[in-house]
Structure 1
């Protein structure tokens, strides 16, 4: 794949080394960035790829594609409803390996109408943050055990977005997150809140468990269902904002490159707890004070883990 204009040159075909023996878990793996990531990593001979999604037929389709690419790679589809923490927990408990080397928290929704999850949380925060926090906490024991192995290189990659900049004051409005948070321009503020949480939670995971490599990444603006299924006003906003910056929307095959880089680059080239824009561009200096504040991160970590522990 040729280099993208304005991006660091990265070709997963030649720049990703062998993944022999490694076990990978990708959320939202049946379409868009998640599917492209699974397909790309399957070419490098991992032992097994787990991936989540809502549609069984899409899961079976990806399993067949992985088998066609490399028949030696195991593939398991986990049906999961990201709007139900009970469903997330039940599906994650079906993980059945004694090691986990790469966890890619990829699934997400964007700029959807105000609504509540099945557990009573604002839907974007529930899907983009709480569901992934549940997955991380459920898989943390096996991640830590894997990190104890000689020569291990365990990674957690959390997808965020430049939309984090739209977060409300303080990052997360805890006394409103159990409401639809319906307000003017609210869909983007709610999205920003959830993407802010992705950055901060990944950074705190790295602080608490430095034996893991945990980072947050912005994939670029990608032409997936998150964009194509928006209403025409919101879609116009996304296309217009990118046009104003002279940026074209990426294909899923291009958009997955930053997360593949974060999952596979030499460990010495990746800063633990950092935020990266495409491809492999350390971008912590673009974060605001809320996103860099350790106390803000601690509060989100403690609050989040108290919530997920209740399911």
Structure 2
């Protein structure tokens, strides 16, 4: 049985270059793989790391840790409620830098109880997709500006999951997105739908901004022990464990789980990245693993239209 989480050789300490002058924004940076990525990238001396989250106490602890180990790296916490698009848009206004080299869309929820956001959208879709779409939309001008600088290397990555395969039959059930989307195996379908959206939207961004010089990709980090995987109810934890066993995979610790996004953010050379590509750990272009739904131009167009229409109302 093949191990789908088999890592290729990647040593971030040796293979990530000096990031002098670079500005990075990581969503969901106060815990889990987001926090681990802040710490991992800070070791390579970027000019500034912005990170978002809800826990101010955890954010200040992370800032103290980075400042102690890497005093020349500026760190800024942006408090953000991903369940409210108005809050996300307002929070993006706190990003006050004149450049942005890496945007890592890392924040997310998995298998949370049925519900809708403050804007009335199913929660997984609202947080995992719409919230990040708003962030990308708001920060796109500075991303494009940075991409025009000499020797630029601008990247936007959306973290996804192999759970995209559990998407509904039609990919994204647009007609019920303004409901909790309850039902048999509802949590798995809701999460899968949002992770499919991450892949499809990244590919569509790449198509629509092909002339920008920005690389848009989606990245599956692998199954890791983080708050994301420890909070779901017992029956869903067991389901995840069974699925991983069938895939020949196991849970990884955060230091290993962060490798895919560190590779995508800074370890890979710009020319190694395929714009719009979907990557499995570590650095394996895996578009050939996507089904017809995930590769559908029609779904991509519909998701883009739906998303832009939602964002335009805020």
TM value normalised by structure 1 = 0.97
**Cα-to-partner distance string for 1:138-197 (whole Å, 9 max, x where unaligned):** 000000011111110100010000010111122111110000000100000000110010
Matching residue of 2:238: 236
Q: Note closer, same or farther for the CA distance 1:108–1:5 as it changes in structure 2 (3 Å cut).
A: closer
1:187 corresponds to: 187
Contact 2:5–2:249 (CA under 8 A) maintained in structure 1: no
Query: What are the Cα deviations for residues 267-301 of structure 1, in whole angstroms up to 9, with x where unaligned?
Result: 11111100000000110001011211222212211
Contact 2:5–2:222, Cα closer than 8 Å, also in 1: no
Do residues 227 (structure 1) and 220 (structure 2) align?
A: no
**How many pairs were matched up?**
308
Aligned partner of 1:175 in structure 2 is: 175
Show the counterpart of 2:141.
141
Moved more, 241-250 or 199-208: 241-250
CA shift for structure 1 position 202: 0.5
Partner of 1:105: 105
Return the TM-score normalized by structure 2.
0.96
Matching of residue 270 in structure 1 with residue 270 in structure 2: no
Q: Equivalent of 1:259, from 258, 261, 266? A: 261
Structure 1 residue 299 and structure 2 residue 302: aligned?
A: yes
Structure 1 unaligned blocks of 5 or more = none
The equivalent residue for 2:50 is 50
Find runs of 4+ consecutive structure 1 residues off by over 6 angstroms. Answer: none
Residue 240 of structure 1: CA displacement? Answer: 2.2
Partner of 2:291: 288
- Pick closer, same or farther for the CA change 1:244–1:277 going to 2, 3 Å: same
Please, what is the CA RMSD of the aligned residues?
A: 1.2
Q: Which moved more, 1:294-303 or 1:191-200?
A: 294-303
In the aligned structure 2, how far is the partner of 1:5 from the partner of 1:96?
Answer: 38
- Conserved in 1, the CA contact under 8 Å of 2:22 and 2:48? yes
Structure 2 unaligned runs (5+)?
Answer: none
How far apart are the structure 2 equivalents of 1:69 and 1:135?
29
2: CA distance between counterparts of 1:103 and 1:6?
26
How many Å separate the matches in 2 of 1:67 and 1:49?
11
1:39 matched residue in structure 2: 39
- Compare 218-227 and 23-32 and name the one that shifted more: 218-227
